Chains A and B, each alone.
Chain A
Amino acid sequence: MYRILTKEMLTPTICRMKVEAPLIAAAARPGQFLMVRADEKGERVPLTISDYDAGEGSVTIVTQEIGVSTEEIVAFEAGQSFCDVTGPLGMPSEFTEMPADSLAARRYIFIAGGVGTAPVYPQAKWLHSRGVPVDVIIGAKTADLLIYRQEMAAVCDNLFFCTDDGSEGFHGMVTALLEKLVREDGRSYTQAVAIGPMVMMKFTTLTARKLALPITVSLNTLMVDGTGMCGACRVTVGGRTRFACVEGPEFDGYEVDFDEAMRRQGQFRKEEKEEMEEHECKIGRDK
């Protein structure tokens, strides 16, 4: 179980894996996530499901190396197996539950940041396959770090790239591009969806509000079990405490207290740094 069928590096630090998990593949919907525990001593790492194939019994995950646990996942090779994969977790995206006629009247703009591009893919794919107009902005620091270019182009109507350094597409932030698309190019949308770093979702929400555009965000909070038992993922949404793992991960961006969410995300930074240093020490010893 949980054998890695394929592995490819999309950038030097972002890795895509197709993993054998037939039960999850059969049950998964856009917007949901899963937990990977790479080995016996590993953390339970929440990762958004980037694609699923019930026929093949596989799910696709995209992992960016940001710490010891994600490095550990990325170090696995095709043919090896993870110790545990659990899911699908969280609520499916709201649109998957909408009746066809109300869906028909909607026009979506997805704003994808960095590794957050991967979870946008199944959502765009789901909507596009049902004839719902979908535009996608993919943002990254530089052209080299843009992922899912071809895949996304196949599942949306208009695809826009955006880089901080101008090495590809729009030169600037995704927020500026979103504003340009609506204000200058006259494109109109009924719903925005932003998935990416917390700070990017915060500012995209501010821009969406300025444009009077409803926006959904997918919160990548800390989690331990991912099933509603620990409350590590709690976020304030509309003044109420919600558990991102079972009530989310997607929420109305206008309602989210992003500043609190960002602080809570960094709660274990000190411990993680120590773990990282120790990890590097050990690697040093091996050599």
Chain B
Amino acid sequence: MANRIPRVPVREQDPRVRARNFDEVCYGYNEEEAFLEATRCLHCRNPRCVAACPVNLQIPDFIAKLTEKDVRGAAEVIARDSSLPAVCGRVCPQETQCEGSCVLGVKGEAVAIGKLERFVADWSREHGTSSENAAKAAPNGKKVAIVGSGPAGLACACDLAKLGYDVTIFEALHKPGGVLVYGIPEFRLPKEKVLAREIEDVRKLGVKIETNVIVGRTVTVDQLFDEKGFSAVFVGTGAGTPKFMGIPGENLCGVFSANEFLTRNNLMNAYRKDYLTPIHVGRRTCVVGGGNVAMDAARTALRLGSEVHIVYRRTEAELPARREEVHHAAEEGIVFNMLTNPVEVLGDENGWVRGLRCIRMELGEPDESGRRRPVPVEGSEFEIDADTVIMALGTSSNPLIPDTTDGLETTKRGCLVADENGATTRPGVFAGGDAVTGAATVILAMGAGRTAAKAIDEYLKKK
């Protein structure tokens, strides 16, 4: 019988302290806390949490191992379905997936599945057992190329390697991880301690990672097939092109895309004095947008010493960011300016940003996303002072691969066309993650990578 205790709270860094450092916000569970939280699981006969997980992690099974205090056993269960548990335990939107469908959540609080997953992954890493968890088939001699080392590519690569394929990931940047390394900040996902180790585990499965190779420029998809001997290609290039609003003044100095701001800070370690890449924050930063990327940019600017305002055109209820991130941002002192939409970036005589001209919004009828559409309130324009503006309005797919590869169709929005198994319009080329869906989540990309791995296996077996 499950233990009727409240959800075990997780320890976090004090908001006043963490607003000044890049150390991880959440400390995670220790053994005692994790074993106690594990006792709350009801072990439903038809577990809705598994169905709600994009990689179908066998959640009650790993939690059962935890109730037996068998962390190693729990890690083995997780490793069957996920190659990045320490990452997912930290950045997945559990509240809308596994935890969102937990029966306990109907009347009380869901089991802290994400925190338990993180505990298992961290424990395994600290005890040096994580890489031994996955079973692997004998090599079959077939080569598969993966383009992009983000969550979709890593998940696809792991499954194919476990099936015996000879897998090479090509990464355009100098470090593997994709958005996990350039986008998500250190305080949410420690790079060396967690991410690098988890990618090392992927390598231990036999996956080769070649950095500094831009497929579409350094080599083309055709060359991968014709000259490099690959039998299938998976495109997991993400959605890396930043969007701008198209309002006057966006190219003023001091206006950055969230991608630029975060890449400088995360990939290039600009927050550390001993790294050469510069980053700029003024006294007052406005971040435009309300997603996870906006929260990451805002909290980064705060840690670099700026006062930070989020400017968002709808209300708090519509913020697309995870609740936890919004809550953490507010705790740290980020100011939320809701129902506010910039119409112009204002500059000074030297071409530097000095503020935003904004218009008040009100919510009208629901739009196609189901959220109430923001409508400008006529005559309500006003100015906000800012000497740094960060545009976090979302990203779109990088056109490089479709532009340089024959037979790959794209949608109007520039995303690759792929069926439910990840097969594109060109035989042998598969795709998944943000490159297909547009900007979404780490775990959805991983799910798509796994689905495509299965489809690639079936395709190559038939060949």
Scan A42-65; emit 1 where CB is below 8 A from any B CB, else 0: 111000000000000000000000
B299 to chain A, nearest CB (A): 19
Q: Which of B161-191 contact A (CB under 8 A)?
A: 172-174, 182
State how many residues of chain A have any CB contact under 8 Å with chain B.
Answer: 42
B398 part of interface (Cβ distance < 8 Å): yes
Determine the residue in chain A with the shortest Cβ distance to B264. A224
B451 contacts partner chain A, Cβ-Cβ < 8 Å: no
In whole angstroms, how far apart are the Cα atoms of A87 and B274 in the complex? Answer: 26
- B285 touches A (CB below 8 Å): no
Contact A224 B276 (CB under 8 A): no
Contact A68 B211 (CB under 8 A): no
The residue of chain B having its C-beta at the shortest distance from the C-beta of A68 within the complex is: B276
A44 pairs with B253, CB closer than 8 A: no
A271 engages B257 (CB within 8 Å): no
Name A267's contact: one of B212, B244, B253, B398 (CB within 8 Å). B253
Which of A6-14, A182-190, A208-216, A231-239 lines the interface with chain B? A231-239
**CB pair B251 A264 closer than 8 Å:** yes
* Contact indicator per residue, chain A 205-232, by CB within 8 Å of chain B (1) or not (0): 0000000000000000000110111111
C-alpha spacing A84/B250, complex, angstroms: 32
Residues in chain A near residue B240, CB distance under 8 A: 227-229
Question: Which A residues, 23 to 82, have Cβ-Cβ distances below 8 Å to chain B?
Answer: 23-24, 27, 37, 41-44, 68-69, 72
Q: Is the CB of A44 within 8 A of B268?
A: yes
Q: Are A227 and B254 in contact (CB under 8 A)?
A: no
Could you tell me if A227 and B172 are in contact, using CB atoms closer than 8 angstroms?
Answer: yes
Q: A86 with B212: in contact, given A225-B182, A228-B240, A229-B242 (CB under 8 Å)?
A: yes
Q: Which residue of A lies closest to B243 (CB)?
A: A231
**A267–B260 contact, CB under 8 A?**
no
Contacts of B219 in A (CB 8 A): 23, 27
Q: A23-B213, A227-B240 are in contact. Are A268 and B263 (CB under 8 A)?
A: no
Query: Are B174 and A86 in touch, CB under 8 angstroms?
Result: yes
Q: Which residues of B contact A24 (CB under 8 A)?
A: 218
Report whether over half of chain A's contact residues are helix, strand or loop; otherwise say mixed.
Answer: mixed
List residues 261-297 of chain B with CB under 8 A from any CB of chain A: 263-264, 267-269, 273-280
Residue B351 lies at the interface, judged by CB distance under 8 Å to chain A: yes
Whole-angstrom CA separation of A235 from B250 in the bound complex? 11
Q: Which residue of B lies closest to A39 (CB)?
A: B276
B contacts with A: majority SS:
loop
**Cα A229 to Cα B238 with chains together (Å):** 10
CA distance A37 to B279 in the complex (A): 17
B400 contacts the other chain (CB 8 A): yes
Report B228-265 CB contacts with A as 1/0, cut-off 8 Å.
00000000000011101000001101101101100110
Tell me whether B338 is interfacial, beta carbon within 8 Å.
Answer: no
Query: In the complex, what's the smallest C-beta–C-beta distance from B317 to chain A, in angstroms?
Result: 30
Q: B400–A246 contact, CB under 8 A? A: yes
What is the bound-complex CA distance between A130 and B259, given in angstroms?
A: 42
Is A280 part of the contact surface with B, judged by Cβ < 8 Å?
Answer: no
Chain B contacts of A227 at CB under 8 A?
172-173, 214, 240, 398, 400
B369 interface hit (Cβ, 8 Å)? no
| A94 on interface, CB distance cutoff 8 Å | no
Which range holds the interface residue count of chain B? 35 or more
Residue of B nearest to A42 (CB): B276
Q: Which of B213, B253, B257, B276 contacts A231 (CB 8 A)?
A: B257
A259's nearest neighbour on chain B, judged by CB, is B351
Most buried by B among A230, A234, A268, A278: A230
Contacts of B174 in A (CB 8 A): 37, 44, 83-84, 86
Q: With A41-B276, A229-B259 as known contacts, state yes or no: A224 contacts B214, CB within 8 Å.
A: no
Q: Is the CB of B260 within 8 A of A231?
A: yes
Residue of A nearest to B275 (CB): A41
Q: Is B426 an interface residue (CB 8 A)?
A: no
The answer to whether B214 and A86 have CB atoms under 8 Å apart is yes
Judge if A157 is at the interface, Cβ distance under 8 Å. no
Residue numbers in B under 8 Å from A268 (CB-CB): 278, 280
User: Nearest Cβ in chain B — how far from A146, in angstroms?
Assistant: 30
Given A260-B351, A268-B278, A275-B276, check contact A229 B217 (CB 8 Å): no
Judge whether B212 and A85 touch: CB under 8 Å: yes
Other CB < 8 Å A-B pairs besides A230-B264, A235-B251, 14 of them?
A: A27-B219, A43-B268, A43-B277, A44-B277, A84-B211, A88-B218, A227-B172, A227-B214, A228-B241, A229-B240, A260-B351, A264-B251, A267-B253, A271-B280
Q: List 22 A-B contacts (CB under 8 A).
A: A23-B218, A27-B219, A41-B275, A83-B174, A86-B213, A86-B218, A224-B277, A225-B172, A225-B182, A225-B267, A228-B400, A229-B182, A230-B242, A230-B259, A231-B256, A231-B257, A234-B244, A235-B251, A241-B250, A260-B351, A271-B279, A271-B280
- Which 5 A-B pairs rank lowest in CB-CB distance, beginning with the nearest? A271-B278, A230-B260, A263-B351, A84-B174, A229-B240
What residues of chain A have their CB less than 8 Å away from a CB belonging to chain B?
23-24, 27, 37, 41-44, 68-69, 72, 83-89, 224-225, 227-232, 234-236, 241, 246, 260, 263-264, 266-268, 270-272, 275, 278
